A and B are shown apart, each in its own frame.
Chain A
Amino acid sequence: AQKITQTQPGMFVQEKEAVTLDCTYDTSDPSYGLFWYKQPSSGEMIFLIYQGSYDQQNATEGRYSLNFQKARKSANLVISASQLGDSAMYFCAMRDYEAGSYQLTFGKGTKLSVIP
């Protein structure tokens, strides 16, 4: 089974609207971390937000929030008030313990396009 699944290859959102990018994960490790990264067209990987498996509250960082539903194993990224600069690839990733170390595993990404 894939560890991280992002089912939306591409998404469109109107400027100033909110958008949700989906992410589901699979792990048997009770202690894990979930991360979202942004990759603009320039290519760098930018860390956006983190959620720990034991965190009771959803993580927020400015216009980014992570909708964490542990029982459903989902960790959706919500971007409020979208801006043109939000157009990018977004990757969900998980860090869990496997084969002797904590490795970061990535999903295939969602390409977000913000429409003026």
Chain B
Amino acid sequence: NAGVTQTPKFRILKIGQSMTLQCTQDMNHNYMYWYRQDPGMGLKLIYYSVGAGITDKGEVPNGYNVSRSTTEDFPLRLELAAPSQTSVYFCASSIIEGPNSPLHFGNGTRLTVT
């Protein structure tokens, strides 16, 4: 079982460049999430989606965009990379939205903006 797959694993961007972080899941989960983890910190929610065609902002959405055209894929777009976006990005999914449903995480993308 692949679960949640993120690509790339590592990326270095220059200030002002753009890129898309890819996320796909094969568990047929409706709910998908993007988090960022800064050094020594927990994870903070950037965007989430409750199904194809529906997305919403999380705690730290500025500087990012998402789309959800299929159940499987939930890409995260950085339009104008800034040093403050240097972080580790995690994509996650869950089968239901509720208090008892754990999130299943991908292995993360380590992004450095210089």
Measured CB to CB, the residues of A under 8 A from B are 4, 29, 31-33, 35, 37, 43-45, 47, 50, 52-53, 91, 93, 95-97, 101-109
Contacts and interface: CB of A to CB of B under 8 A. Distances in A.
Nearest to B33: A104
Contacts of B102: 35, 47, 50
Contacts of A101: 48, 50, 56, 97
Given A52-B100, A101-B48, A102-B99, 4 more contacts: A47-B102, A47-B105, A95-B101, A101-B97
A43 B88 contact: yes
A52 B99 contact: yes
The 5 lowest CB-CB distance pairs between A and B, nearest first, are A106-B42, A33-B99, A45-B105, A106-B43, A47-B102
A109 B42 contact: yes
Interface of B: 33, 40-45, 48, 50, 56, 58, 88, 90, 92, 97-105, 107-108, 110
B100 A91 contact: no
A13 B105 CA distance: 27
A53 B104 contact: no
Instruction: Give the residue among A53, A93, A95 with the most B Cβ atoms within 10 A.
Output: A95
A26 to B, nearest CB: 15
A50 B105 CA distance: 15
B40 A108 contact: yes
A84 B111 CA distance: 29
6 contacts: A45-B108, A47-B103, A50-B102, A95-B99, A103-B45, A109-B41
Contacts of A29: 99
B79 to A, nearest CB: 24
